[in-house]
Structure 1
Amino acid sequence: MAIKRTKAEKKIAYDQKLCQLLEEYTKVLIAVADNVGSKQLQEIRKGLRGDSIVLMGKNTLIRRCIKVHSEKTGNKDFLELSNLLVVR
């Protein structure tokens, strides 16, 4: 049986993955997925497989990761991404 990770460990792993993707790729697409069924998301992910990487997360977590990464690297262009995230 696998050991369950805590929420903090999951957030750290997510942060590392997002930072790695921001460093590796030059293009980012942000899409809102409210009220989208799991079957439709599955089909979208299947269609993008091989060409793209789909990373889903919560707005506040993504915004925090982008802010920290921007401060760490000194690249302020990443801060414009956080402005695109929906705030309700």
Structure 2
Amino acid sequence: MPRVGQVKVSDGERLTDRIAIGVLTSMFPPTLIDEVIQRAGRVEQRHRLLPARVVVYFTLAMCLWADEGYEEVARLLVGGLQHMARWRGD
């Protein structure tokens, strides 16, 4: 049983996966990602299912987990972002 303030890692999930997502979002905070998207001239003109910021995080996550499939990378990314309150919604 985890102590107060600790998070229990679910079955099949590695602690290193959560750490990698933490490092990813710490090194590339949402404000930086948004600035890069704006400077590249790729600001969203419409709201889509995957916002540009999430696509950038997904691309970076695919580099971290190059041996995993898209679905597993997406699962790791969304799970990590939800844990760190950087992703809201289902």
TM-score, length basis structure 1: 0.26
